[in-house]
A and B are shown apart, each in its own frame.
Chain A
Amino acid sequence: MRTLIVLCAGQQMRMQCPLYLNHYSCNVLLAAKVLENIHADTYDRIIYTVSQEDCEKYDARNILQDGMKDVYPIQIFTLAQSTSGPAQSLYLTIKGMNVAGEIAVRDCTSSFCLAENARGNFVAGVDLVRLDRDVYRVRQKSFIVVNEQGQILDIVEKSFRSDIISAGLYGFENAEDFVMAYERLSDWHHPIKHLYISNIISYLIGYRQLVFHFAEATGYEDWKDPDAWSRLQDKQGQGKLVMVDLDGTLFDTRQVNYMAYREALERHGFQLDYEYYCEHCNGKYYMDFLPQITTQDELILHQIHMEKKAAYKKYLGCAVLNKTLIDMLRLMGREYREALVTTASKENTDDILNYFGMSNIFDLILTREDTEHVKPNPECFIKAMAHFSALPENCIIFEDSEEGIEAARRAGVQCCVVKGYR
């Protein structure tokens, strides 16, 4: 009996959902992609380990079952609580699913190819010298020391010890070996927390003198790497683009902008009324509404604008995220490239995206500084389309303000209008 266990717990987020639930191409889940080229068909049983939280929040169980339907029959093991690390996740899976005999453990963040069908005790690794590109966050990897006979002498976490990094697939001839080592290392006398699978292997090599073989992986692609991620996305969404406005569309920032303007204006002795702001100013470029209510002195106007930008951060807690739109973007991401196109300053855009942990969900971000003219001039939309060589008929714009809608019309792109979402 050979069991392959895919650990999906505790992973990174992409597009507002766990990385492994994203799609590699239109229909292939990343969670399915990790089984390619590793001889997955030679296993008798495949188990995916996911967290209860992912099942509740992101429907992980159903998405996996659905996505794997035509690939392999799989079983799903859910972890009721978050674990202290991958070794504990594996341990609980082995216990919870009564796994015995030969096992292999796969993480869910990369793809690669194993030429030979590794069996028994082994670790799949990537030779950095032979890899044709740099590896992302190489310091976070585990490093493998291998002798000329392909036996692993050592494996260490996050410490440069060799040219070979672990690719994310480990084999144990006997699940019991793993269990014994895990139990010893997490024993109450001297518990070691946050154990990785590599720590367990290291212990087994040192204490039990077990022999682990090195299995060379080629074509390694780490999806945590933003470059690899965008290469992956290039394979999809060719020529299709969705463009999203920020203020009032992706976020309701009326309150944030109002509070920031009010603070800046008060310092110069001007008042600003909330109702008036919402009706006449929100979503507009400052030069298009400030002169009417303050002064014509461009220097002062500029000063006010600078102070407003600085004050913006303070009030980010008042912003409201458009969750429906986020959900739509996540689904559309399988087919469309996604751009944020806004009249807001780069500084404030970065502020709010960072605040909501969304700084990497867009393929392109165009802010006030990137164009000469502001909406209703369509320049910003045209620029985004040019960037992806997308034709207007293959694009969609999400907008809320009259200026934005007009800019979309002039760009010749279909526009979905957001009319409040609280």
Chain B
Amino acid sequence: MSKLPKIALIGNPNAGKSSLFNSLTGLNQKTGNFPGVTMDKLTGIWELEPNRKVEVLDLPGIYSIYPKSIDEELVINILGNPAHADYPDMAIVVADASNLKRNLLLFSQVRDLGIPTVLALNMVDVAENQGYVINSIKLARELNIEVAEINAKKGIGVNGLRLAVEKTLKNRYASNDALPLPVGDDLLADITAQYGEADPYRSLLWLMEHDRMKMFSEEQRIGFDRLQEKHRFDAKSYKTSETVKRYEALSEIVERCVINLNRQWDAPPVKTMTDRLDSFFLHPVGGYLIFLGILFLMFQAVFTWAAYPMDAIDGGVAQLNDYLKEILPASALTGLLTDGLIAGIGGVLIFVPQIAFLFFFISMLEETGYMSRVMFIMDKLMRRFGLNGKSVVPLMSGVACAVPAIMSTRSIGSWKDRLITIMVTPLMSCSARLPIYTVLIALVVPEKSTLFGMFNLQGLALFGLYLLGFFMAILSAWVMKQLLQVKEKSYFIMELPTYKGPRFKHMALSIYNSVKAFVFEAGKIIVAISIVLWVLASYGPGDSLATVEQSVRQANPTLSASELANKVAAEKLEQSYAGHFGHFIEPVIKPLGYDWKIGIALITSFAAREVFVGTMSTIYSLGGEVDDENATIKNRMRAEINPVTGKPLYDAALGFSLLIFYAFAMQCMSTLATTYRETKSWKYPAIQFLYMTTLAYLSAFIVYQVLA
């Protein structure tokens, strides 16, 4: 394979890099209207012309080439190191035109690093709405660079950008301006002597940021420190003066190239849509109420609106199963197909409507720009508990899935805040818990009941569980803050972007992708475990299962045929391998109110909690009481009788105990693996697993003992 030219997308956070990446490559990289959506690099192919392809690299946003958090560090490690595998042949600097001066600061730095650069002026529509008109031809002349006006969101202007890129790829023009601020020639000579020839500005970047650059060894880093000392070079003051100097030059350029219509007409400053919306959403009291209201609406919707399609899917799967059982010969294989496989798949499919609603709301919050406002109003509260306003994004997206949520902590500058956020994020109820909540709530909270005749109690219970997860998360964060006792300065200097209308097509696509991932990822595990479980539950050690039927018949000579069949099935399950496993851990879980059947589900859900419902349906379908007309998992669980009391097994005490257990327990290998990757140490996933599981056990114990 010949090497394709590589183009890096560089720009301030939220400038529209990922949107542009999507329109160039046709891929579906995640976008959102708040700074810090993209946390990792992603490569795609852009077909400039038929048979002429280039590689495009989407990167996290940066405000300058001096990184302040690890997502920014990643970009500098690429741009500062020509030996890096991702070092680009050229860069497209994506600039938010409504904030031109600040965006040009980064542009000027990237260009001075010696990378051929094109400027893509994005969000021109936003700038025009605010009354700014940019003369991009003049700007191109002033900056001596190709400039293309684009609308990354709508994919407008790609053609102009293509021409600019072609030109730049051909002439590889990179300015080799003098340094923004002169330094001693002997300093540059020393750097060149020790670290090799490089663009002078890049040499300075190395000198100032060597601690954040992975290309240097310990020894080389010490060498840089020595050079700084020898030449009395103060990196901090250099960066400060450099920034001021650049802004001075850019101010003049912007002054010449941007027409401010507001000023021309001498009109009073217009109140933009964003200003007006913010007076509600950022209101000192109203802001909180609105936020709570939005969350509340979200969970009511997830529970009540999704119920209709869910019932339809549930009934459909049960009917399909009954039909198959009728037409297929009664055999072990039919059992595997219907009670194992189809029941397992049905257990996944039924939750598609809820997951879709959940993702709809979350992507709505992300797309409109409201997420930044939540960070703003929550910062003070979060700080008390050892977190940070920016922890809101991981915690909110933790409601969907903890894996991307933990990755999104990379934009948190302080290591302590970031670590605590990583540790507590899995306590937020993720979408894999939703099925468990739904089934159990339906069992223990009466369906028809409402509060004040308007709020569905089941929806309220669900909302309560999510709130509980959140409160436990911030409480745990507080405890960790006390334990860590690190005095590290964190800051919260953050842009609040303008509100933008959601793109429904984009939202639909992201919902579709999330649902697809849920169905296939979760589906694979669930189907695999269902099959394994079915085998384990259908066979037992030695010939124990073969003799079950005979011994049951002898022990109960008076039973009718169907009662006898049920009893045999129940006895068989108990004697199977799965039954043995369940009995094995029963002593440990008895204080929480769980029997050996629930024990089997607990064991299977340790790798991934989404298998709980599938496991339950396999166990109960094999374990007798097979009443074909009501063969849904809910009804089967409802029919379970506690052998000691003779009352339904799933009473409030057991139901809530299980709910609490699943709310707090760490039952997800992928999350632990992500924590390991993000903290680079096995210590933290181990602590995470232990503290969450202990928390789950103790809380479930208390709940059961109090309610029973």
Question: Do A and B assemble together?
Answer: no
